[in-house]
């Protein structure tokens, strides 16, 4: 068995999340560590997995804050790097009445994009059962090349790749290659998690979640999860014996405060459950749907609190929530 269940690579940043107004009517923002890959591995580790993070921050107080946050959770941070050339990436997050987010980024290009292939910890990647990456590492070099290099290292060592092709329009700007770049990682992914809203970026307008899941599975993945927000997740999977099956697993109803980290916590919960097996991809339909019920519960708890990493639940929280909901 490899020492690390999940290693995540990619962006790590600080969210300034809207938290009301002061006596003078000025907006108040609270500082929360964030970044999709960092959220994912943090979720898995907080549940009980062994995890590590590879990324880059600025040589500033924000970089220290995110590094400290991960370390205190139990995430291995020895492969995190500093740069004096760029500041740690920042994002200002506004929430509407339903807890849905809008972002304003300070990333031009941002420290997270400066990770180089030479910065990668070869031993840590070799010792990782699953490498989780997202598409925001592909917006700029040298992080793009480092991401592909890490994937090659993990694959060569017999590990698996989990991929979240998440999209932030503000980070791609006027470029028209976002869709092509997001697609470029698909052939390497064993596990794909994509939101229903972002699915057209991969497969074109008008694609349904059902058809999209099967199409992505046919492209070579072993498991495809298309998150449907409050409706749960549509999945398609290929068992080790070649059997293909699919379905929808509904999510429990909760009062939503902040959707930040919902998809990342889902993925972290799923990878945690999958790595409880000696072979993560050796699952039956019943076992996989049990994993997805658990992952939905993790995400449902996450959205009841503000912030990404600070809102992630403990295993005991998830188990109590599932018992309460009869899951």
What are phi and psi for residue 247, nearest 5 degrees?
Answer: 170, -175
For the segment 300-323, the average pLDDT, to the nearest whole number, is 93
Q: Considering the chain, what is the average pLDDT of its residues? A: 94
SS3 state of residue 155: helix
Peptide bond into 142 cis (omega under 30): yes
The pLDDT of residue 176:
86
Helices (H), 139-251: 143-156, 169-172, 178-183, 199-203, 209-218
The pLDDT of residue 174:
72
Which residues have C-beta within 8 Å of that of residue 205, sequence separation ≥ 6?
Answer: none
Q: What is the crossing angle of helices 36-47 and 315-325, to 10°?
A: 80
The pLDDT of residue 99:
61
Peptide bond into 109 cis (omega under 30): yes
Supply the pTM of this predicted model.
0.95
For the segment 207-233, the average pLDDT, to the nearest whole number, is 96
pLDDT at 226 over 80: yes
**pLDDT per position as a tens digit, 124-136:** 999 999 999 999 9
The pLDDT of residue 167:
87
Range scoring the smallest mean pLDDT among 99-108, 152-161, 232-241, 268-277: 99-108
**pLDDT per position as a tens digit, 59-116:** 999 999 999 999 999 999 999 999 999 999 998 877 677 666 677 888 888 999 999 9
For the segment 241-263, the average pLDDT, to the nearest whole number, is 92
The pair of structure tokens assigned to 298 is 């993790």
Q: What is the DSSP annotation of 219-244?
A: TT-SEEEEE-GGG-EEEEEE-TTS-E
The pLDDT of residue 124:
98
Closest CA to 267 of 40, 34, 11: 40
The pair of structure tokens assigned to 60 is 């500033």
The CA radius of gyration of the chain, in Å to the nearest whole number, is 18
Higher-pLDDT residue of 211, 241: 211
Higher-pLDDT residue of 238, 306: 238
**pLDDT per position as a tens digit, 160-182:** 999 999 888 878 877 889 999 99
CA angle 265, 39, 177 (to 5 degrees): 100
For the segment 200-219, the average pLDDT, to the nearest whole number, is 95
For the segment 205-234, the average pLDDT, to the nearest whole number, is 96
pLDDT at 294 over 80: yes
């Amino acid at each position: 068995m490899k020492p690390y269940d999940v290693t995540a690579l990619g962006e790590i940043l600080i969210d300034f999340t809207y938290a009301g107004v002061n006596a003078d009517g000025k907006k108040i923002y609270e500082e929360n560590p964030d970044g999709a890959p960092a959220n994912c591995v943090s979720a898995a580790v907080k549940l009980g997995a062994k995890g590590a993070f590879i990324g880059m921050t600025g040589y500033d107080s924000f970089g220290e804050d995110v590094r400290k946050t991960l370390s205190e959770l139990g995430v291995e941070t020895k492969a995190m790097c500093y740069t004096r050339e760029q500041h740690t990436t920042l994002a200002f997050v506004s929430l509407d009445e339903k807890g849905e987010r809008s972002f304003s980024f300070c990333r031009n290009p941002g420290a997270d994009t400066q990770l180089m292939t030479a910065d990668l910890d070869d031993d840590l990647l070799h010792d990782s059962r699953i490498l989780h990456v997202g598409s925001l590492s592909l917006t700029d070099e040298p992080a793009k090349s480092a991401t592909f290099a890490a994937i090659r290292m993990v694959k060569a060592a017999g590990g698996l790749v989990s991929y979240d092709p998440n999209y932030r329009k503000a980070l791609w700007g006027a470029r028209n290659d976002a869709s092509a770049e997001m697609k470029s990682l698909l052939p390497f992914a064993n596990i794909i998690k994509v939101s229903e809203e972002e699915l057209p970026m991969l497969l074109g307008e008008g694609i349904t979640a059902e058809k999209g899941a099967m199409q992505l599975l046919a492209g070579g993945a072993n498991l495809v999860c298309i998150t449907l927000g409050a409706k749960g997740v549509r999945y398609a999977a290929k068992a080790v014996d070649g059997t293909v099956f699919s379905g929808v697993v509904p999510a429990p109803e909760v009062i939503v405060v902040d959707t930040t980290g919902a998809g990342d916590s889902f993925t972290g919960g799923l990878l945690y459950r999958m790595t409880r097996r000696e072979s993560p991809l050796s699952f039956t339909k019943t076992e996989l749907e049990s994993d997805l019920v658990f992952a939905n519960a993790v995400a449902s708890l996450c959205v009841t609190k503000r912030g990404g990493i600070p809102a992630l639940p403990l295993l005991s929280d998830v188990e109590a929530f599932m018992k309460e909901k009869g899951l």
